[in-house]
Structure 1
Amino acid sequence: MAQFGSLGFGIGFLATAGILYCLGSRYWQINSQVSSQQVNRGIQSYAGLWVRCMSYIPGVFQCDNYDESYLGLPAALQAQRAFMVIAGIFSVAGLVAGALGQDCIHAISGREKIYAARAGGVLMISAGALTLASISWYAAEVVAQFHQETATQASFAYQFGVALFVGWAASGLALVAGGLMACCTCTEEYEEDYRYSYNPPKAAKAGPRSTSEYV
């Protein structure tokens, strides 16, 4: 079982890298060169959680932070940001807790090592669930916006960016890693200290029979 816990920790490392990439990526949505108006097909436009950029000349981008105060942003974008920030924190904390639960790390031992590994698994599962919720929510908005833009023949029509695909993969890896870390921790070698052996009492040897009789 310890091998599965170590495998879960390795998968969790990949999941954390993917979650952190999505958190800072600018490519959550990009303009579709096919569906946008023909006059705008040479223009590149993309957006992420924190910034959106547009390029009229190849290699030259103009970016802004949505030109809004935090309170002026759409509620959905604020929630998606919060989900991803919490997911990033949970994934890093899950890796730290999972590392403490590894056999090669001797910072803690015994029951504490088991609890640390399982806590890391729970944190990783939470990070995967939050990432999946944020990515899927954003993707649903991109789909709705795409149909609206194509119906109204808007200047730009946006489609999924690479960050969404990375996020879906990272969330799946995080869920798998969390399950392995939480359920496949090596408990046998640490529970040996708490086990006890039961030996039935041995029959006493019969001694010399007393010659005294009591009336």
Structure 2
Amino acid sequence: MANGSIQLVGLLVACAGGLCTLIATFLPDWRKNDPTGEVLEAIIRHQGIWIKCISYPTGTWQCDDYDTFFIGLPTSLQIARGMSIVANVLGFFGFLFSIFGLQCTRCIEGNPLAKSRVAMGAGACFVGSAAAIGVAASVFSHDILTEYNRFSAFSISETVGQRYIFGAALFVGWTAMAITLLGGLVLICGSCGESHPVSKYRDSGVRRVASIGRSVSMSFRRGRPVKQQDRGEYV
């Protein structure tokens, strides 16, 4: 039988991962410039998948949108945007299905098999969300690493302001992937074991009929009178 406590733990963990996914999606720090060799190393240029910003030593930020929404952007940025959207959509549907599938809710109470399957579907959505944000962060980081290695062949003076390193959003994205994946798997495991609810009720009915039969046979053994039907009733 499905374990409601395990399901609830899985949902809470997956929701924490979903929150990290949402934060990683909108953080403007997927990559930042390597300030090594620059005159003003405190000025950092950050780039997210939706906006790009410049942070100054005074603590102020100046942000601007990209010129285009999707077409014309680098391939890694397009993949990161698309997969991050997929990750958040799947996370939303995973939470929505959990409301109907968890044992602690009153939805679909009359059909335990369907309720268990809905909960497993919620866990699958969370697993898909984890995979999507993981792909987004990994593809974007691969592009950063490729460019960094390409510029490493030149001297530092020639690559000032051109080399970029990993930003905080990438690490938040990888953390979101791990937490959401764990929560989704726990939710799936907590929803297993309710595969034959009909046979359970059928067996209980058979046992009830058998107990009634035994009680009737015991009444005959004790010599209780049996009502004789009058033949005139059939005339």
Task: Give the share of equivalent positions with the same residue, in percent.
Answer: 24
Q: Deviations over 1:28-58 (max 9, x none)?
A: 112233xx32314121111110111123553
Q: Deviations over 1:91-132 (max 9, x none)?
A: 111012113222332132233321221110110010001111
Tell me the residue number matched to 2:159.
Answer: 154
How many residues are paired up? 203
Tell me the residue number matched to 1:60.
Answer: 60
Q: Is the 8 A contact 1:29 1:158 kept in 2?
A: yes
Does residue 70 in structure 1 map to residue 75 in structure 2? no
Cα shift at 1:136 = 0.8
What is the aligned-residue RMSD (CA, Å)? 2.7
Distance in 1 (CA, whole Å) between partners of 2:26 and 2:122 is 23
Answer with 1 or 2: which has the greater Rg: 2
Tell me the residue number matched to 1:180.
Answer: 186
Distance in 2 (CA, whole Å) between partners of 1:163 and 1:138 is 11
Classify 1:167/1:64 alpha carbon distance in 2 versus 1 (closer, same or farther; 3 Å): same
Classify 1:190/1:40 alpha carbon distance in 2 versus 1 (closer, same or farther; 3 Å): farther
Tell me the residue number matched to 1:139.
Answer: 141
Could you list the runs of 5+ residues in structure 1 that have no partner in the other structure? 207-215
Does residue 84 in structure 1 map to residue 89 in structure 2? no
Distance in 2 (CA, whole Å) between partners of 1:188 and 1:114 is 7
Q: TM-score, normalised by structure 1?
A: 0.82
Classify 1:189/1:129 alpha carbon distance in 2 versus 1 (closer, same or farther; 3 Å): closer
Cα shift at 1:61 = 3.0
Tell me the residue number matched to 2:16.
Answer: 14
Could you list the runs of 5+ residues in structure 2 that have no partner in the other structure? 222-235
Cα shift at 1:64 = 2.1
Does residue 164 in structure 1 map to residue 166 in structure 2? no
* 2:39 partner SS: helix
